[in-house]
């Protein structure tokens, strides 16, 4: 059931170049994400992760009850490689000379001075404990959302590779009928329509990709076609927003069949902030909570 495609840094570069031709006004943002995504893909090749074996009885229970295989706290990560990536992402953001640069410069300085313990932040993030981030925000006047963004993106290669390794267990699971990720239980950040009209969800936390019903809200499990619809994006045949009138939530969707360019899901999500603005103005809320 593991449908997660592997991408190279060349793939990402090409994907960014293709979108820049369509949306030149987003060139600076796209180039920034190109550097971050490329650093993440390169990092995957250097990871050293412990094996994780799911006991047969636990696996059967998870599959029978449609529970995700793992909790987020059970995810393994390579702390040394994540620390290297943390520094690299900080350098990318500083060099980007944008509204985040001064904050990231301060984060880097505090890290060098040992006033920010990056490994402690990794542990806090995986434990879903915000107290360490709250303390830094209060003591050093650092926006904890910026810090969490860097920490998450530093850990994401580990999460993605670990998820891919664990997902082989899902091959015995048959059809997954839930809207949350079968590996970690997180919400999808984007959905895709691929060949033969098949729909897939892509996890916002670990990047796992899984098949989904075509007419379906992943956030409330609504499958009533009368309360589900999609909103087309003018001038962008491949993009739309699927909205649910029952829970008033939405998910951005890319129809891969309607474009000839390579589709890199994290880029599709980040390159379309105007869709979020448009749909949220209509009263809907995005369902992905892991950014």
pLDDT score for 250:
98
Query: Is the pLDDT at 175 greater than 80, yes or no?
Result: no
For residue 50, what pLDDT is reported?
Answer: 84
For position 278, what pLDDT does the model report?
97
Structural domains for the chain: 9-171 (no CATH), 179-286 (3.90.1670.10)
pLDDT digits (tens, 9 = 90+) for 182-200: 999 999 999 999 988 899 9
* pLDDT given at position 291: 42
* Mean pLDDT value across residues 101-107: 96
**pLDDT tens profile 130-145:** 999 999 999 999 999 9
| 66 band by pLDDT with thresholds 50, 70 and 90 | confident
Q: At what angle are helices 79-95 and 101-112 packed, to 10 degrees?
A: 140
Measured in whole angstroms, the distance separating CA 133 from the mean position of its chain's CA atoms is 20
Estimate to the nearest angstrom the gap between the alpha carbon of 84 and the chain centroid. Answer: 20
Burial class (CB in 10 A: 0-12, 13-18, 19+), 245: middle
CA separation for the pair 36, 33 (Å, rounded)? 5
User: Containing H/E element for 27?
Assistant: helix 27-44
Main-chain dihedrals φ then ψ at residue 126, nearest 5 degrees: -70, -25
Q: Residue 56: what pLDDT? A: 85
pLDDT digits (tens, 9 = 90+) for 240-259: 999 999 999 999 999 999 99
Residue 204: closest CA among 152, 256, 243: 152
* 1 pLDDT more than 60: no
Q: CA-CA distance, 282 to 233, in Å (whole number)?
A: 14
Q: H helices within 96-200, ranges in order?
A: 101-112, 118-126, 131-140, 144-166
Interatomic CA distance for residues 109 and 260, integer angstroms: 44
């Amino acid at each position: 059931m593991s449908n997660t495609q592997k991408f190279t840094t060349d793939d990402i570069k090409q994907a960014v170049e293709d979108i820049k031709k369509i949306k030149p006004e987003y060139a600076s943002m796209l180039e920034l994400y190109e550097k971050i995504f490329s650093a993440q893909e390169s990092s995957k090749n250097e990871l050293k992760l412990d094996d994780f074996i799911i006991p047969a009885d636990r696996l059967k229970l998870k599959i029978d009850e449609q529970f995700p295989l793992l909790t987020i706290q059970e995810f393994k990560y390579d702390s040394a490689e994540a620390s290297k990536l943390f520094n690299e992402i900080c350098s990318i953001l500083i060099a980007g000379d944008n509204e985040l640069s001064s904050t990231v410069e301060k984060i880097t300085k505090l890290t060098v001075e040992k006033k920010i313990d990056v490994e402690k932040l990794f542990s806090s993030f995986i434990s879903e404990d915000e107290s360490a981030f709250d303390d830094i925000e209060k003591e050093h006047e650092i926006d904890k959302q910026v810090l969490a963004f860097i920490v998450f993106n530093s850990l994401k290669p580990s999460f993605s590779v670990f998820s891919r390794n664990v997902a082989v267990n899902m091959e015995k699971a048959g059809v997954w009928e839930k809207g949350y990720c079968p590996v970690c239980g997180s919400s999808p950040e984007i959905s895709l329509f691929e060949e033969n009209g098949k729909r897939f969800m892509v996890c916002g936390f670990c990047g796992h990709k899984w098949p989904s019903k075509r007419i379906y809200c992943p956030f409330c499990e609504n499958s009533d076609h009368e309360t589900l619809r999609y909103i087309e994006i003018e001038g962008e045949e491949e993009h739309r927003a699927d909205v649910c009138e029952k829970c008033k939530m939405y998910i951005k969707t890319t129809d891969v069949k309607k474009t000839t360019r390579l589709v890199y899901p994290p880029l599709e999500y980040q390159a379309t902030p105007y869709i979020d603005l448009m749909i949220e103005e209509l009263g809907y809320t995005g369902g992905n909570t892991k950014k």
